[in-house]
Structure 1
Amino acid sequence: MSDIYRKRLLELQREILKSGIDMAVLVDRENLIYYTGLTNIECMALVVPSKGGIVCITLAMDLAFIKQKCCHLNVVGYDFPQSNLGRKLVQVIRYMGFNSPNVGFSKYFVEFSVFDALRMGLKGMEFSDITDICYKIRSVKDESEVEYIRKASEFLKEGMEAAVSSIKPGMTEVQVLAEAQYAMQKAGSEGSTFRMQVLIQKRQLIIHPYAGNYTIDNNQAIVIHLGASYKGYTSKMCRTIALGRVEPETRKIYNVLVEAQDKAIHALKPGISVGAVYDAVFKVISNAGYGKNFLDIAGYGVGIRQSEFYPIIKRNGDTVIDKNMVVDLLLPTIYKKSVGGPRITDVLRVREEGAELLTEFSKKMIQK
């Protein structure tokens, strides 16, 4: 497996060299998983120069374990609290011959103490954003990554079945989520990478809601959006349940979303632009009279993170879909007061012959 991680790191080196950046410093969990294969990571960093050897920095207590698992890396340790990750980073970067380097960081996350140590220890240091580079490299999945996502997708089915079976008036959103989460983790999920949703209808027009202590009443549509993970990789799925009687327009909106998703899935092939995939979605939405109630984004890449920012399925986007990208469709709902809010989301792998659905579950509005 180490050959896979060597290849990934070499690709990163090529990209930062083209960008004129001296090195990437990776301290975020997502990229550390991608470039090392380790999911049980704390207090660790990768220093990836545009040319030359790559250094992994870790706690001295983890040194033997990391060396065994990451034989493709030069691994050095530090003792805490005598030293810390920031000070060790400065020492390693200076040893590499850099005094005022241009350093690339990704979006998530750089602890302030690490940033402060670099700022104080490397006077004149410049900072660059390599978020897009990292997400673009991660966007095309190898077979092992697809299998991890496929496995996570299997857990979602267990969770959705548990949620559908348990939901009833008088329960709270979090109580339904607890049943789903237990079923997924019992099946093997390592947990969700985002705050999951069980949403009563009046909370569905919030952009980023999550399950709370809200009581579920009868005669409404309930949104259930679940996430599961396996070996650091995530999958997600969203369905809508009709609990008792549901407004006819709410049911119509859900069916419009299902149709729009189906059109997007048929369009999702290598070589198509993300803008064209979005257009397939929006045409259905607009023809149904809901164009003004829809967002300009219909999906994202999926991998180690539940929403990776390459590709983004968006209006007028020119990013080209590649074979073995994994994306979610449909991300948003139709935002219309009092009747809008139902959602459907699935994860798909792009294949030469078309999209492969990884999250298999009935797409009909489930009646309870």
Structure 2
Amino acid sequence: MNQRLQSFSQWLQEQNISFALITSTPNVFYLSGFYSDPHERLLALLVFPNSEPMLVCPQMEVSQAKRAGWQYDTLGYSDTDNPWELIYKNINARQVVPEQIAIEKSHLSLERYEQLHTYFPVRSFLNAEEKLRELRMIKDEKEIVILRQAAELADFGVDIGIKALAEGKTELDIIATIEYELKKKGVREMSFATMVLTGQKTADPHGVPGLATVQHGDFVLFDLGVVLDGYCSDITRTVVVGKATDEQKTIYETVLKAQLAAIHASRPGTEIGSIDKEARAIIEQAGYGAYFTHRVGHGLGIEVHEYPSMNATNTMPLQRGMVFTIEPGIYVPSIGGVRIEDDVFITDDGVETLTSYPKELLTI
């Protein structure tokens, strides 16, 4: 078994868990190397403490799993099969008598839990997610290589968007240009819905792009990322169209100062909460504390938002191999908003910034 499966299987042994049923696409991918979104159909990975794992997927995806490198048993089922019954028969054939089963409690639906419990009325269902988060939080060298490449493509996307800026263009016009050029680079999927916001819409951290047009004097905010080989990138840059006002400059320079300070503070052993506090203190001292309305960042990897959560109450120390975003922002409804976001990687003795698009205030 690969190292990830071995580590997870060892945990099952330590916890006296009969087997784990992993059903979320990201965690199945992490453990198996097979990425699938089966829609309403069941995708599952059965991991055992003392025997080889088994993948459960629609029959039409079995060949894809093998091409992805899956070398163990695969239980393929048709649309007329009951996959839970097939799982039950397979577990019985292995002579496993389940007592405790590990599942992803935040992912397994009530309907699927009831199916599972019907076939396996065990004394307890334990949550596997904390262990999987712990494993996924520390990236290996192969993952870092992919994340660097994904970050480079995010830089490219921002560059395309800024070059496409012109007064009168709509937010969706610019998004179409960004995604078209990225697809020409081989990007099949974005990490999330690409965000281009202009004017006062930039004051909404999760604004929805539409037919608003770029006007002279606007802040324009770009927030985008790509999925590359199953891993996400995430970058935000903010520019001004035309000449920036004094307050726009102050807001921008405050966010940039906060972001750089947070990156500088990121090193092994530092408490995560102190990174948020470092950025927040600078923004508060400038008088904009009430306009910084979210945490300073989030973990990044197979999912665009994963552990650790970079919030002020998190006392976990940073460790080598963690990858996360640092993205402070100021959002003033009457003026607009600024967010500056980079993807960073904790090294043996410091931090490496994976995204590299310039951060000085650009006026277009």
Superposition TM-score, scaled by structure 1 size: 0.88
Contact 2:263-2:351 at 8 Å conserved across structures: yes
Aligned to 1:302: 300
Report how far residue 230 of structure 1 moved: 1.0
Distance change >3 Å, CA 167–CA 60, structure 1 → 2: same
1:208 aligns with 2:214: no
Partner-residue secondary structure (3-state), 1:312:
strand
Report how far residue 225 of structure 1 moved: 0.5
Contact 1:87-1:118 at 8 Å conserved across structures: no
Distance change >3 Å, CA 245–CA 89, structure 1 → 2: farther
Aligned to 1:314: 311
Report how far residue 88 of structure 1 moved: 3.0
Contact 1:243-1:367 at 8 Å conserved across structures: yes
- Identify unmatched segments of 5+ residues in structure 1: none
State how many pairs are aligned: 360
What does residue range 77-156 of structure 1 map to in structure 2 within 5 Å? 77-78=76-77, 80-96=78-94, 97-98=96-97, 101-105=100-104, 107=106, 109-110=107-108, 114-123=112-121, 126-156=124-154
Aligned to 1:224: 222
Which shifted more, 40-49 or 338-347?
Answer: 40-49
Report how far residue 219 of structure 1 moved: 1.6
Aligned to 2:6: 10
Partner-residue secondary structure (3-state), 2:332:
coil
Contact 1:44-1:85 at 8 Å conserved across structures: no
Specify which of 342, 346, 349 is matched with residue 346 of structure 1. 342
Distance change >3 Å, CA 342–CA 85, structure 1 → 2: farther
What does residue range 206-355 of structure 1 map to in structure 2 within 5 Å? 206-295=204-293, 297-308=295-306, 310-330=307-327, 332-355=328-351
Report how far residue 106 of structure 1 moved: 5.5
Cα distance in 2 between the residues matched to 1:18 and 1:290: 49
Which shifted more, 129-138 or 139-148?
Answer: 129-138
Contact 1:257-1:333 at 8 Å conserved across structures: yes
Which shifted more, 167-176 or 334-343?
Answer: 334-343
Q: Identity across aligned pairs (percent)? A: 25
Distance change >3 Å, CA 71–CA 184, structure 1 → 2: closer
Which shifted more, 210-219 or 345-354?
Answer: 210-219
Distance change >3 Å, CA 14–CA 214, structure 1 → 2: farther
Q: Which letter does structure 2 place at the counterpart of 1:240?
A: T
Aligned to 1:367: 363
Report how far residue 111 of structure 1 moved: 5.8
Contact 1:199-1:211 at 8 Å conserved across structures: yes
Specify which of 2, 23, 28 is matched with residue 24 of structure 2. 28
The superposition leaves residues 197-255 of structure 1 with CA deviations (integer Å, 9 ceiling, x where unpaired) of 11123223334333223333322101100111210111111100201244432331121
Distance change >3 Å, CA 207–CA 90, structure 1 → 2: farther
Cα distance in 2 between the residues matched to 1:87 and 1:297: 44
Partner-residue secondary structure (3-state), 2:359:
coil
Aligned to 2:52: 53
Q: Which letter does structure 2 place at the counterpart of 1:244?
A: G
Partner-residue secondary structure (3-state), 1:77:
strand
Cα distance in 2 between the residues matched to 1:295 and 1:91: 51
Measured on the aligned residues, the alpha-carbon RMSD in Å equals 2.4
Report how far residue 99 of structure 1 moved: 5.1
Q: Which letter does structure 2 place at the counterpart of 1:294?
A: F
Which shifted more, 272-281 or 334-343?
Answer: 334-343
